[in-house]
Amino acid sequence: MTTFTDSQARERLDDVLEKASTQGEVCIRRSDGRHFLVKALPAATTSPSTPPRYRDLSDIAGTALPDPGFEQALIDQDQIDPDMWK
C-alpha cells in the first residue's frame, strides 16, 4: 500500500487515484495525525455486451399525490435573489 500525506495527495490526486485503482487502496495521512484510506471500487460485474436490466414500475406510476408544500418549494427554489448577483 502506498502512503501519501494530505498535501501530497492534493498535489498528486491523479497519482493517488491511479495507485488506489491498481493496488486496491491508498492511505492518506493528514498533518494532524489522522489518516484515511482511499479504496478502489470493484470493477463492474457486467460486461458492456450485457443489456441493462429494466424494472417495471407501472404498478406505482401515477400514484403520487399532490403536495402543495413540495410544489411551493419548487417555486421558491426557482426565484432569483437580485442581492446575490450584485
CATH of the domain at 25: 3.40.1620.10
Confidence of residue 76 (pLDDT cuts 50, 70, 90): very high
* 14 part of a folded domain: yes
Could you write out the three-class secondary structure of the chain? Answer: CEEEEHHHHHHCHHHHHHHHHHHCEEEEECCCCCEEEEECCCCCCCCCCCCCCCCCCCCCCCCCCCCHHHHHHHHHHCCCCHHHHC
Q: Provide mean pLDDT across the span 15-21.
A: 71
* 59 part of a folded domain: no
Q: Give the domain range for residue 18.
A: 2-39
> What pLDDT, on the 0 to 100 scale, is given for residue 55?
85
* 86 part of a folded domain: no
Higher local confidence (pLDDT), 78 or 14: 78
Q: Are 20 and 41 in contact (CB under 8 A)?
A: no
Over residues 21-64, the pLDDT tens digits come to: 677 777 777 778 887 777 766 665 556 677 778 888 888 888 98
Q: Are 17 and 38 in contact (CB under 8 A)?
A: yes
* 15 part of a folded domain: yes
* 69 part of a folded domain: no
Whether the pTM exceeds 0.75: the reply is no
User: What is the number of domains present in the chain?
Assistant: 1
